[in-house]
Amino acid sequence: MSSVCIVTGGGGARIGSGICRALVAKGWTVVVADQDLASATAVADEARAAGGNAVPMALDVTDAESVRDVVAATVAEFGRLDALVNSAGVGLRGAGAEATPEEFDRLHAINYRGPWTCIKEAVPAMVEGGGGSIVNIGSVHAAGAAETFTLYAGTKAALAALTRGTARDYGRQGIRCNIVHPGAVESRGNGHLLSEFVASRQMLPTAVEAIDIGNAVAFLVSPEARSITGVELYVDAGATAMLFSNGFTD
């Protein structure tokens, strides 16, 4: 049987679905877990139409019972859990001090507590199966201060710390944990802004696509990455490396 991976936020139009497509193409069985079950179903249907194996599941990463149910259902259906990708996330724009407490709490509940909850529930299943791999999806904003991204960047920096700690906590039990930091990812409607970003803020002349993030994740969960853990991987066409000379703008 193929290896099994849960992708939270897997129904997302950009990065989440790109990760699912890349994993399915590598022969993984993918649980497309998303709060929007219709979107998760569409991604899973596309994967099956292409000859892959994917199932949709409803998941609210802020609800521990929902997370527990998805992990249990995955193990019950497939008999194993080999990998977890924490892709679910939300953004928040504006100066940090201008956010409301409710906005702050929601941002942290989804972007930081959500991945922690998923890790907490997935680790026992992975340990029982002899090990596994966790990949968190961060952001280039974790590396620097960009205008209007203060609180969002904070959650991604915290997620990077959680990644390193998880790698340390469970490495001896055969669990690896890494984080991928996407740069500006191409999507419908951001062509003009992205072209400007590519021209002035990247080393490479081409836009980062969702499948590029997916391919990085697929490598990190694979046996070929068996000695890689606690690592932050920037998939940003060189944007972070230019931070110190040009800085980030939105």
Catalytic center residues: 152
Give CA–CA dist 158/111, Å, rounded: 9
Asked whether 132 and 84 are in contact (CB, 8 A), the reply is yes
Give CA–CA dist 34/176, Å, rounded: 23
Work out the burial of residue 58: count CB atoms within 10 Å of its CB; fewer than 13 is exposed, 13-18 middle, 19 or more buried: middle
φ, ψ for residue 196, nearest 5 deg: -65, -40
Residue of 121, 58, 128, 112 lying closest to 84 (CA atoms): 121
Q: How many degrees, rounded to 5, is the angle at CA 119 between CA 114 and CA 120?
A: 95
Work out the burial of residue 235: count CB atoms within 10 Å of its CB; fewer than 13 is exposed, 13-18 middle, 19 or more buried: buried
Helix, strand, or coil here: 68? Answer: helix
Strands 4-8 and 29-34: parallel
Tokens of residue 79, six digits: 């008999």
Give CA–CA dist 234/219, Å, rounded: 14
Residue of 66, 8, 5 lying closest to 39 (CA atoms): 8
